[in-house]
Amino acid sequence: MYSIEENFRCLRVRVQHEVALPALIVVGAALRGDGTTYVACGLARAFAEAGRPTLLLDANPRSSGIADELGITTISNAAKPDLIDRNLSVASLFEREERIVSDDELAEVVASVRSHYAVTIVDAPVIPGSGAALQLGRAADCVLVAVRLLRRPCAADHEMKLLLQSGGLLGNKAISGVVPTRAENRRIPGPSTAPAPLLAGLLGSLVSRIQTTTR
């Protein structure tokens, strides 16, 4: 059985096959608590481990969990990201709450991160209910959707499916992938962590299926 790290390595390979670098990757969800932070942090670690300069951007300041997930104290603003590990930097995209920015400002941010990093991974707010998340998804090269294991499908899942299908607002940007669940320990583990159970898809072939549990 694969370890947590190996599952994220597999997901990294899948993303690299689908998307040319430098890449902007948005990790979002239809509902709060579906595990975007876990997926974003794990994938960022996998890219950094592979020698790719990686930036992890926190775009969800109202319910940020990146500091806890990575075991760090604070997160700097996007103007001066913190290098927390070899090839891995972390920054907050917004100061207090997510907001829609001008097209010029967004284009400037995207151009800047592409020039400095091979991969930029955005931990986004709930996508259907956030204009900022939709704006980031439109600018991204691909969108990964986290879905909490065993929760019941809801109207927000249907809305997400419509957003990501061909002709939807976000277009056909979804990449399918599977990562393991974690029922208790939320922090990205070291090499000795025991394997976790396998996940199953929920939203169907039109939506990227990345499932994770929360505490």
* Region 135-160 average pLDDT: 88
pLDDT in tens, 52-97: 999 999 998 777 788 888 888 888 887 889 899 889 999 988 877 7
Query: Any idea what the CATH number is for the domain that residue 177 is in?
Result: 3.40.50.300
State how far the Cα of 75 lies from the Cα of 96, in Å rounded to an integer. Answer: 12
Q: What is the pLDDT of residue 25?
A: 96
135: domain range? 4-212
* DSSP classification of residue 88: E
* Region 169-173 average pLDDT: 85
> What sign does the CA torsion over 40, 45, 46, 51 have?
positive
Domain count for the chain: 1
